């Protein structure tokens, strides 16, 4: 099973502020949904909390939440005690065929722990210098840009570009 990480960041690497994404780029949300739909998604408990309740669990996807709290439960989510356990859960077939890919969707602590398992990254760069308190992981030199859709203009007025990395 391939493991991908998907995030959106400013050019400075900011991905979050006060447990939220500090910009609104609808085209990136659509890209996020199209990329992850039909695949298991792995997220940290804080990211689960950050989703507006009406969007939890993320529809059309197995939602696996990583937390050290053994008593944590939420409707529509499966709990895992570590990234490794989450990826084992994600790889086990619920339907007739095993999943080909899982997507790790955040946040900062989870991206740093999951990077060693990943072979694909989808990184949206937002050209807006907003400040924040959570950062994207630092990428080592083995990661190469495999696709770059170039700068695009959002209806929000912000410029963004979507890059896929592989190694």
Measured distance CA(28)–CA(142) in Å, rounded = 26
Length of the chain in residues, anyone? Answer: 167
Give the shortest CB-4-to-ligand VY7 separation in angstroms.
10
Question: 67 or 106: whose CB is closer to ligand VY7?
Answer: 106
Interface ranges with ligand VY7 (CB under 6 A): 6-8, 21, 28-29, 32-33, 51-52, 55, 58-59, 105-106, 124
CB 25 within 8 A of CB 45: no
Nearest to ligand VY7 of 21, 80 (CB atom)? 21
Q: Smallest distance from the beta carbon of 106 to ligand VY7, in angstroms? A: 5
Which CB sits closer to ligand VY7, 26 or 81?
A: 26
- Residue nearest ligand VY7 by beta-carbon distance: 33
């Amino acid at each position: 099973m391939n493991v991908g990480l998907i995030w959106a960041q400013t050019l400075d690497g900011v991905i979050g502020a006060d447990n939220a994404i500090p910009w609104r780029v609808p085209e990136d949300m659509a890209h996020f949904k199209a990329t992850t739909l039909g695949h298991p998604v792995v997220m940290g408990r804080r990211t689960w909390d950050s989703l507006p309740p009406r969007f939890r669990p993320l529809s059309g996807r197995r939602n696996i939440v990583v937390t050290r709290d053994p008593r944590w439960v939420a409707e529509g989510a499966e709990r895992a005690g570590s990234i490794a356990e989450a990826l084992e859960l994600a790889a086990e077939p619920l339907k007739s065929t095993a999943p080909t890919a899982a997507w790790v969707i955040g946040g900062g602590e989870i991206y740093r722990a999951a990077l060693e398992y990943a072979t694909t990254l989808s990184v949206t760069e937002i050209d807006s210098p907003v400040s924040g308190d959570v950062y994207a992981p630092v990428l080592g030199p083995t990661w190469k840009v495999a696709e770059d859709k170039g700068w695009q203009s959002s209806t929000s007025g912000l410029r963004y570009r979507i890059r896929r990395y592989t190694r």
